[in-house]
Chains A and B, each alone.
Chain A
Amino acid sequence: MELVCPAGTPASLRAAVEAGADVVYCGFRDETNARNFPGLNFSREELAAETEFAHSRGTHVYLACNTYPTAGNESLWHKAVDDAVAIGVDAVILADIGLLRYARDRHPDARLHLSVQASASNVEAIRFYHREFGVRRVVLPRVLSLDEIASLNRQIGVETEVFAFGGMCVMAEGRCSLSSYATGESPNMNGVCSPAHHVHYEERGDATISRLGDFTINVYGASETVGYPTLCKGRFRAMGKAGYLFEEPTSLDVTSMLPELAAAGVTALKIEGRQRGKAYIAQVVGSFRRALDQIAAGQATSESKLSHMTEGQSNTTGAYRRTWQ
């Protein structure tokens, strides 16, 4: 299985390459990609230089252009695709149908991947994107079980990529407006979820309150570690009980499932986290590199040692195990 790793900056790209990434993925520094955070992402010049570096080391580069173009302003996204192809990236990752059609028509030889933001969660949707736009790979949304992924791979003629480690989206990606409901900014429109400039912390006696926009997302006691108020990882009250209704603060880690994912026909594993620093990237990528090399050599994989890298120091295999649902 191919190891696809995040690169939010040239430094983390190099860290991922050094740690054994088969592929790095990155985005331009604007709202054309779904990690549109200050201080992150690549200028055209940086992407060109780093692509040359990665290629010289045998590592591929994918460009994520996976937000939904704004009505009246599609040319910004068209230019991102044109520039990525001109720079010579190995694939462009897209979600929007109009943009997929543009890319197919304008660059018929470019390798197109379907972003997780397109939320293609079944055989007919994947066939549609393959037939209409020639996508060669689909990044699967984090809603499918291992059995469903295996069944999909038996029925489709395109590669699948699954999330292996990092932030855990509990909603079907590309179909979530929770963030814009609370803040006015969303992954689809702005490339951000629960954006930092809408986050506030308040002290109330011994408690710390985390707020997103006008809403309290969590209340922490003096002994609790205060986390970032990602909306769906908050504590809320329903039916008279308070708790993590949608999901506890946790990260995805499929290290224990790698042989099963390989047997299910998965082509590539994606590490999430373009907003992470190079030390994090180096550790996570290195750990997965070792695990994949062990599998390739017919050895058992060692247990994941990444729990200190995860949110809330806990991890999950998410929807891949049906018991999660």
Chain B
Amino acid sequence: MSIEISPLKPAMPAPARLVMGPVLFHWQPDYLRDFYARIADEADIDVVHVGEVVCAKRMPFFDREWPGVIERLQRAGKQVVYSSLALVMGDREVGMIRDLVELPDILIEANDLSTIGVLGGRPHMVGPYVNIYNEGTLRYMIERGATRIALPWELPEPSIASLCAAGRDAEMEMQVFGRVPLAISARCYSARANGLHKDGCRYVCGNMPDGMDVDTLDGAPFLAVNGLQTLSGSYLELSAEMADLREMGVSLFRLSPHRCDMVAIVTLYRRLLTGGISPDEARAEILAVAGDINLANGFLHAIPGADLYRIPGQFQSE
């Protein structure tokens, strides 16, 4: 086997950019429209994702709104990325994926191999739902036209470092804020918790705009259900790790939208990137904005993902 020698690190890391990930929840159309309008007009953010990632049944509620939303975001100077479904099942959903090829002039985030397949060699982004755990897979994706790669949430720091070193031809992205998608199923757990089936779900997931809290029988917060998707109970929060990630080669930092004031969250992460605030201060302010939540960063530190690893010397305020 040939041994590849990585080139030396560039002296300056790529300029960091902030990304608003796709809205994972079933927000009502009026609220969603207002959310994107406010992001377009008020948020100091570089990239904004649109599209439905979790459940195809929700798509008709907002599909005809997307062109207007995209135009407004682009006019505000944001790069818009269209995120595809994470779990594609059945002919109707495959048809939706094939339609993506028809979207001109927009970067598509492929969250399933079907999407990478139908895009052919067209430049695209590979989303965090696609399993990229090693250099061989990463290089394959880049050769096939991936220009940006959002790494899976589960990866520990040494893997991220290796992948960044092997992926210099693409932009690398990591989520740094919000609940983490942990699993997806054919079964709708929002419906099941309400005594319904997926086919007659009455869109009950819309009643839980940040997901349905799932606690252990001992009353400890654990997970959150969002239709077919199971999310972490705690919010991923990597403000203390962002400088290291940037050094490794991650240049895009994704904030996953919640119902808290996301413009304020964007402002905090921007101040963090420009050195106007310490990770310690950022975390305290994030808690003030996001409310009564638990924070976690365990995946990156190769401990349980639900845990909060305290970097020595930081987070003394907690």
A residues sitting closer than 8 Å to B (CB atoms) are 68-72, 74-75, 78, 95-99, 101-102, 118-125, 127-129, 131, 142-145, 148, 151, 170-172, 174-178, 180-184, 186, 188-189, 209, 213-219, 232, 235-239, 241-242, 245-247, 319, 322-325
| Pairs A-B, 10 closest by C-beta atoms | A98-B136, A128-B117, A124-B114, A143-B186, A71-B162, A68-B133, A98-B137, A181-B305, A171-B183, A71-B159
Provide the residues of chain B in CB contact with A189, threshold 8 Å.
133, 154
Whether a CB of chain A sits under 8 angstroms from the CB of B112 is yes
Q: A44 to chain B: closest CB distance in Å? A: 19
Other A-B pairs, 9, CB within 8 Å; known A68-B131, A175-B183, A325-B198: A96-B137, A99-B136, A122-B114, A143-B185, A182-B304, A236-B215, A236-B222, A237-B214, A245-B193
Whether a CB of chain A sits under 8 angstroms from the CB of B302 is yes
Provide the residues of chain A in CB contact with B163, threshold 8 Å.
71
- Tell whether, in the assembled complex, residue B162 and residue A72 are in contact, meaning their CB atoms are under 8 Å apart: yes
- Tell whether, in the assembled complex, residue A216 and residue B134 are in contact, meaning their CB atoms are under 8 Å apart: no
Task: Provide the bound-state CA to CA distance between A96 and B137, in Å.
Answer: 7
Which residue of B116, B189, B194, B304 is within 8 Å of A181 (Cβ)? B304
Task: Provide the bound-state CA to CA distance between A175 and B180, in Å.
Answer: 12
Task: Provide the bound-state CA to CA distance between A216 and B117, in Å.
Answer: 41
Summarize A's interface: helix, strand, loop or mixed: mixed
Q: B87 to chain A: closest CB distance in Å? A: 6
- Tell whether, in the assembled complex, residue B225 and residue A238 are in contact, meaning their CB atoms are under 8 Å apart: yes
- Tell whether, in the assembled complex, residue B88 and residue A121 are in contact, meaning their CB atoms are under 8 Å apart: yes
Q: B30 to chain A: closest CB distance in Å? A: 25
Which residue of B137, B180, B199 is within 8 Å of A97 (Cβ)? B137
| Closest B residue, CB atoms, query A68 | B133
- Tell whether, in the assembled complex, residue A97 and residue B159 are in contact, meaning their CB atoms are under 8 Å apart: no
The segment from B93-101, B253-261, B266-274 found at the interface with A is: B93-101
Provide the residues of chain A in CB contact with B91, threshold 8 Å.
123, 151
Question: Interface digits, B112-138 against A, CB 8 Å rule (1 contact, 0 not)?
Answer: 111111100000000001010111111
Whether a CB of chain A sits under 8 angstroms from the CB of B265 is no
- Tell whether, in the assembled complex, residue B217 and residue A184 are in contact, meaning their CB atoms are under 8 Å apart: no
Which of A124, A189, A319, A323: most chain B CB closer than 10 A? A124
| Closest A residue, CB atoms, query B117 | A128
Task: Provide the bound-state CA to CA distance between A102 and B2, in Å.
Answer: 13
- Tell whether, in the assembled complex, residue A124 and residue B89 are in contact, meaning their CB atoms are under 8 Å apart: no
Which residue of A119, A184, A186, A245 is within 8 Å of B189 (Cβ)? A245
Provide the residues of chain B in CB contact with A232, threshold 8 Å.
183
Which of A98, A172, A175, A186: most chain B CB closer than 10 A? A175
Question: Interface digits, B206-229 against A, CB 8 Å rule (1 contact, 0 not)?
Answer: 000000111111111011010000
- Tell whether, in the assembled complex, residue A245 and residue B214 are in contact, meaning their CB atoms are under 8 Å apart: yes
Which residue of B112, B136, B187 is within 8 Å of A69 (Cβ)? B136
Whether a CB of chain A sits under 8 angstroms from the CB of B245 is no
Provide the residues of chain A in CB contact with B213, threshold 8 Å.
238
Total contacts A-B at CB 8 Å:
229
Task: Provide the bound-state CA to CA distance between A138 and B223, in Å.
Answer: 31
Task: Provide the bound-state CA to CA distance between A171 and B299, in Å.
Answer: 20
With A125-B113, A175-B184 already in contact, the answer to whether A96 and B131 are too (CB < 8 A) is yes
Whether a CB of chain A sits under 8 angstroms from the CB of B306 is yes
- Tell whether, in the assembled complex, residue B222 and residue A215 are in contact, meaning their CB atoms are under 8 Å apart: yes
Which residue of B1, B197, B217 is within 8 Å of A242 (Cβ)? B217
| Closest A residue, CB atoms, query B160 | A71
Q: Could you give 27 example pairs across A and B, Cβ below 8 Å? A: A70-B159, A71-B135, A96-B134, A125-B114, A131-B117, A148-B89, A170-B187, A171-B185, A175-B131, A175-B184, A177-B154, A177-B182, A177-B183, A178-B183, A181-B298, A184-B304, A188-B131, A213-B306, A214-B304, A232-B183, A236-B215, A237-B219, A239-B194, A239-B212, A246-B187, A325-B186, A325-B197
- Tell whether, in the assembled complex, residue A236 and residue B223 are in contact, meaning their CB atoms are under 8 Å apart: yes
Q: A190 to chain B: closest CB distance in Å? A: 11
Task: Provide the bound-state CA to CA distance between A97 and B220, in Å.
Answer: 38
Provide the residues of chain A in CB contact with B194, threshold 8 Å.
239
- Tell whether, in the assembled complex, residue A74 and residue B135 are in contact, meaning their CB atoms are under 8 Å apart: yes
Task: Provide the bound-state CA to CA distance between A239 and B158, in Å.
Answer: 39
Whether a CB of chain A sits under 8 angstroms from the CB of B297 is no
Whether a CB of chain A sits under 8 angstroms from the CB of B251 is no
| Closest A residue, CB atoms, query B116 | A128
Provide the residues of chain A in CB contact with B187, threshold 8 Å.
170, 246-247, 319, 324-325
Which of B1, B115, B153, B166: most chain A CB closer than 10 A? B1
Provide the residues of chain B in CB contact with A325, threshold 8 Å.
186-188, 197-199
Whether a CB of chain A sits under 8 angstroms from the CB of B239 is no
| Closest A residue, CB atoms, query B187 | A325
Task: Provide the bound-state CA to CA distance between A190 and B223, in Å.
Answer: 22
Provide the residues of chain A in CB contact with B133, threshold 8 Å.
68-71, 96, 188-189
Provide the residues of chain B in CB contact with A209, threshold 8 Å.
218
| Closest A residue, CB atoms, query B118 | A124
- Tell whether, in the assembled complex, residue A125 and residue B134 are in contact, meaning their CB atoms are under 8 Å apart: no
Task: Provide the bound-state CA to CA distance between A144 and B91, in Å.
Answer: 12
Task: Provide the bound-state CA to CA distance between A129 and B303, in Å.
Answer: 33
Whether a CB of chain A sits under 8 angstroms from the CB of B232 is yes
Provide the residues of chain B in CB contact with A174, threshold 8 Å.
131
Q: A101 to chain B: closest CB distance in Å? A: 6
- Tell whether, in the assembled complex, residue B88 and residue A98 are in contact, meaning their CB atoms are under 8 Å apart: no
- Tell whether, in the assembled complex, residue B186 and residue A72 are in contact, meaning their CB atoms are under 8 Å apart: no
Q: A206 to chain B: closest CB distance in Å? A: 15
Whether a CB of chain A sits under 8 angstroms from the CB of B230 is yes
